[in-house]
Amino acid sequence: MRRRTKAIAASAAVAIAVILAAIVLLATLQTALTTESARNEQNPLYVQPQPNVQVRLGESATAGNLTFRAQNVMNGTDALQVWSSVNASNHYAPLNPIPGSTYAVINVTVASAIKGATPFSYSNIVLVGNDGRSYYANYAEGNASCSASLAAAQFKPGGACDVYVAFSIPDGVAPAKIVYTASNPAIVVNLA
């Protein structure tokens, strides 16, 4: 009788261990699927706006009253170092990517092309990854003379700013394009 009780107890312990392992495995799988699904919802496949003006990195494009020039794109450790230097005011916390992601930082010069105030919001800048998905700006920092313009979301006549924009992107994704969507036509900067 004791042997049978011990055998039943041992079988029950094994069954409980297997059930617990299955629960942990299912919870991990659900988290991974939810994270990927949420990321895909937040970062839809990119559809290029029409009409658009296409330029390469380092070239200027003017659309309406705005001149836009992407000067540099950094990711990984370079992006974090650049962000630390331009975020001297500590307006934003240091960039601490979540597991499975990194930051890309772009440096753009934005200027009012003709007379009159020019609306500008960094949230209208989209980074397109080599995975074909759209990534939206998380933060922006400008040089000291640009802080008021960025806060007001417009440039005074003749105004120009050097702006650094940070994007959270998944590990393994490289920036392929930068798109300023608020101009007409949209400005597309091809990075390849």
Least confident range from 13-27, 120-134, 142-156: namely: 13-27
Q: What is the pLDDT of residue 34?
A: 45
Distance of CA 150 to the CA centre of its chain: 18
Q: How does the average pLDDT of the chain come out, rounded? A: 79
112 contacts 156 by C-beta, under 8 angstroms: yes
Rounded to whole angstroms, the Cα distance separating 162 from 140 reads 10
Per residue in 61-87, pLDDT tens? 988 888 899 998 988 777 777 777 766
Q: In what order do the strands lie in the sheet with 160-170?
A: 60-63, 66-75, 101-112, 160-170, 139-142
What 3-state class would DSSP assign to 159? coil
Average pLDDT over residues 15-33: 62
What lies within 8 Å, CB to CB, of 181 at 6+ separation is: 49, 124, 125, 126
Per residue in 128-144, pLDDT tens? 999 999 999 888 887 77
Q: What is the pLDDT of residue 91?
A: 58
Q: What is the pLDDT of residue 131?
A: 94
Nearest to 170 by CA among 122, 105, 98: 98
